[in-house]
Copies of this chain bind each other. A is one copy, B any other.
Amino acid sequence: MSITRRDLLRNIGIAGGTGVMFSSMGALGLNPAALAAQTPPFTPLDKNALRGHGKRSVVVMGGGIAGMTTAYELLKGGYDVTVLEGRDRPGGRNWTVRGGDRYTDLDGNRQRAAFSKGEYMNTGPGRIPQMHVTLDYCKELGVDLEVFNNQNADAFLYREGDHGLDGEAVRHRAAKADVYGYTSELLAKATDQGALDAYVTDSDKEQLIAFLRGFGDLGDKVDGDPAASFAYTGTSRRGYEVQPGAGRESGVETTPYALSDVLASGVGRYFSFEFGFDQAMVMLQPVGGMDRIAYALADAIGRRHFRYGTEVVAYRNTADGVEVSYRQGGATRTITADFAVNTIPPHLAAEIPSNLPSEVIAALRSAQVSNAGKLGIEYDRRWWEEDYRIYGGISNADTDLSNIWHPSYGYHGDKGVMIGYYNTGGDADSYGALTPDRRLQRAVAQGRKIFGDVYTQGITASFSQNWARAPFSEGAWVHWRDQNGADYERLLEPTGNIHFAGDHLSHAIAWQHGAMVSARAVVARIQERVAAS
């Protein structure tokens, strides 16, 4: 029987929705340069994975993305899987809040979201890069996707400080045109004047100047007048006071900011975000909220494998497996299994009684916890679209708001939910220390500086999350002092029959991709042990 090239591709992972292996693709004659950004290969377990090895059971501690991916993949191989999840929903930090949702944090802040029907906010992850395996699971599980606008030329940059752009809401497009214009002018001048002759050939110089003239929308070289040569004096790329229209309306262009102001404001430092590896467009989101992934995984796993509302209170290796105790309602129960996969955040997992060796507990404790906060504000009209012509995307401020997200769904609808802040670290802590009402007040006062009075009007609902004080998370994500260090390495290895998984054990921390690939690695490792037994 002959195997077509396509069958072969499917066999090495596409059919399973589990990523594509670089080297295999190269071997099949595709353009290898084309295939950067590929996912390490993973072969899902065969349904006969346990044939000849008897029944094997795994208890998964935590029903977030890592835990559910673990359960989902183990079930493909016929394992007996039980997921213990403290919350009454799947997903962990993948949490979409809708109207009617209730929440109490560890500080006792009680909120009931009053968002309108169809409106939501993703309190945790909100975007997915093209190359992440998260998309493969969306495909495999039938989660519909739409574009998340991580970049919008008409959104704002807002910078305060001792410079000419202080307190001014600057369109991304204007900032970019000015920064690219001035830097192109300077580099064209230096190149033309021979300042870079040690580094570039004559042919390079010619090509470089041709590139810069287009990139910066520069003027001509003025013979004998270096100062006037290649001048940046503005461009339509900045946008218009009045845009081009009918008849004689050729448009009224805007005036560039001064070079020193543009540089001193630091607006240009934002741009590299937009071409970062995991932030460059195209990015995607599930239609209807990020938790569509969580619920799709939960549905695929099946209700009978979940125990919600269970708090793990002890776990230990035994002679031939593991024992995990949990509290549910008033009662404490113990479950035994051949293996445990511990996806509980490391700083919390360290504090649950166990018989883990002290160096493993120390390794768990060595995780550095980061905070992040998000505020959703529902408005009774989509003024960012109507007044500012901003359809999704991020406005960025150097105030404590950091990032304001304009919604990438529901365009032209009656209402909309903006993310009023997505901040981290000290800013998240400082908003988190306030009551939800005060968070909204403060964020609205800060946002008004960027968007004007409209920011204060027609607010119909809001909800905020302070991840540092979220039950079962107590943090947004963790990082490591040294990701090649002994602590991190120790958690990659199982301790007896207890394995660890989570985005924190990947090089894609704070991404669902990280949780998923970590889970896959543990699934492969467990199967390896079983196969060798």
Contact = CB atoms under 8 A, between A and B. Distances in A.
Interface in A172-217: 173-174, 176-177, 179-180, 183, 186-187, 189-191, 193, 195-196, 198-201, 203-204, 207-208, 210-212, 214-215, 217
B169 A507 contact: no
A129 B34 CA distance: 29
A20 B521 CA distance: 54
Interface string A253-285: 010000110011010110110011100111010
B248 A40 contact: no
B152 A40 contact: no
A151 interface: yes
Contacts of A392: 147, 282
A182 to B, nearest CB: 9
Interface of A: 5-6, 9, 14, 20, 22, 25, 29-31, 33-40, 130-131, 135, 138-139, 144-147, 149, 151-154, 156, 168-171, 173-174, 176-177, 179-180, 183, 186-187, 189-191, 193, 195-196, 198-201, 203-204, 207-208, 210-212, 214-215, 217, 226-227, 236-251, 254, 259-260, 263-264, 266, 268-269, 271-272, 275-277, 280-282, 284, 386-393, 408, 411-412, 450-454, 457-458, 483-484, 489, 492, 505-508, 514, 517-518, 520-521
Contact of A245 (B199, B266, B458, B506): B506
B243 A387 contact: no
Contacts of A138: 412
Given A246-B518, A507-B250, A149 B452 contact: no
A260 B198 CA distance: 14
Given A153-B280, A195-B193, A246-B521, A240 B36 contact: yes
A34 B177 CA distance: 15
A388 B507 CA distance: 21
B242 A389 contact: no
A138 B386 CA distance: 13
Contacts of A277: 173, 236-237, 239-240, 243
Chain A interface, >50% SS class:
mixed
A180 B275 contact: yes
A138 B391 CA distance: 13
A193 B193 CA distance: 13
Contacts of A386: 14, 20
Nearest to A248: B492
A249 B40 contact: yes
A433 B14 CA distance: 39
A180 B146 CA distance: 29
Contacts of A272: 214-215, 217, 237
Contact of A34 (B30, B266, B452): B452
A259 B199 CA distance: 10
A452 B31 contact: yes
B520 A260 contact: no
Contacts of A237: 272, 275-277, 280
A523 to B, nearest CB: 10
A281 B152 contact: yes
Contacts of A458: 6
A20 B247 contact: no
A248 to B, nearest CB: 7
B189 A9 contact: no
A335 to B, nearest CB: 26
Given A153-B280, A227-B199, A281-B152, A207 B264 contact: yes
Contact of A243 (B37, B242, B259): B37
A22 B245 CA distance: 14
A64 to B, nearest CB: 15
A183 B208 contact: yes
Given A147-B392, A149-B281, A30 B505 contact: no
B387 A37 contact: no
A263 B204 contact: yes
A35 B200 contact: no
Contact of A247 (B183, B193, B452, B506): B506
Nearest to A153: B280
A168 B30 CA distance: 11
B33 A266 contact: no
Given A22-B241, A187-B187, A408-B147, A154 B131 contact: yes
A391 B130 contact: yes
B243 A131 contact: yes
Given A130-B389, A131-B239, 8 more contacts: A25-B387, A36-B254, A131-B154, A146-B411, A186-B190, A190-B191, A193-B195, A198-B227
A249 B22 contact: no
Contact of A507 (B29, B183, B249, B393): B249
Nearest to A212: B183
A345 B290 CA distance: 47
